[in-house]
Chain A
Amino acid sequence: MESLLPTELWRNGPQPGSLYNFPGGKIAGHNEPVKRTMYPIVTGTSVLGLKFKDGVVLAADKLGSYGSMAKFRDLTRLLKVNDQTVVGAGGDYADYQFLTEIIEQRVIEEECLNDGFGYTPSSLFSWLTRVMYNRRSNINPLWNTYVVAGWQKGEGFLGYVDKIGTAYQAPTIATGYGAYIAQPLLREALEKNPNMTAEQAAEQLDRCLKVLYYRDARSLNKYDLAIITKDGVEIRSSIVSKTNWEIAHMIKGYE
């Protein structure tokens, strides 16, 4: 066969004209756009998780803040991965959407293998930790905080992964402002009643989300709740907490 003349004389080497910036010409090497998340744009606030006697509950409000503007008031920040796992996300919504597509594609690929295995909460958690840490090590993070909740091997699973790759598991998890406001409430509730039912756990999360609505300036009084038990995943959408403004009558002026 005739040999084709190579179209390039060399590959992966320096391009002619790229080593020196000729005055008046275009700056060499700036042909690709900068592709790293420097700062989040549309953001989600806290995600709360609580382990109860026979499972885990996860909740996140439905707000996507555009800085200080309440731009998107109907976003779902909870993703049902399969009948055993749910992932909740705070932080940049675009990065969460990017990851959602990847996770969903992977779940489909798992299905295609048809070997009876699917993603367990802890396998997803490990994978997610690796991804997040790897991205941060390349100074190109996914600007999110994830909470992985699920049911495996007869008990609940609840884990936290950061944009810098910090990962841990705990009986109560709260991200963002929730860490300061809701975490004390959740810890106290669990200490008082270590064996809660699903309804009691959901009630505790409602209590915390109500206080977050009072005190977090980037929150909304509408949230999604996911309850994961051995029987699968139940997602309750668009729950509105009953807020109490009785004290409003007591406040007049500032002195």
Chain B
Amino acid sequence: MRCYGFTPIQGSDSRLFHLPTTRLINIPNSNSRFSFSHSSFFTSKLVSATCMPPVSLRTTARAAVNDGLMTEEAAAASGLSFYELLGIPESGSLVDIKQAYKQLARKYHPDVSPPGRAEEYTKRFIRVQEAYEILSDPGRRALYDRDLAKGLHLAFSARRQYQSNEGMEERGEWKNRWQAQLSGLKRRSMNKDADGNLSWGARMRRQRDELANEL
């Protein structure tokens, strides 16, 4: 059940939604997504989210994770998830995604748009194309599904920055981790060849060191 404990109230006003999200922008961006969804969980107890089946909880979250700039239009339009935009179920296969993308791309391509609505069509086209880009790559799709499950749907333009930022953050975490592992290795190696260690390698090393000491 993806609503994370929010009680769905019929006809709740989505405007109530925006209030906590604007506050969230000021929350320091420590562990980005993880703490973000946590704080949204705790601070918005008073606000109910509309759980709209079959898609999971959606928040019209501003890109608080990073400094992504968003226009009002993008915010409004980002109410749709990629799957809804393409008109396919979440379990859609690659072939479905491709077909949907091709159909919509042909429909919304700026060259075939009705006069006067070219700009709107272009924007839709770009969104459709982004949706395809992310959903057609299994790795990125997995990341996106994970976010969707956590109840976050970020604006399209923010996503690209989001991904590279997430990449940077992950790399930063990695560095801490392997530095700790290296110090663990050093610590372990101090005791490794104590006489109690009977592995073949330890025995050979002791032998080699003894020979070296004799010389």
A and B interact physically: no
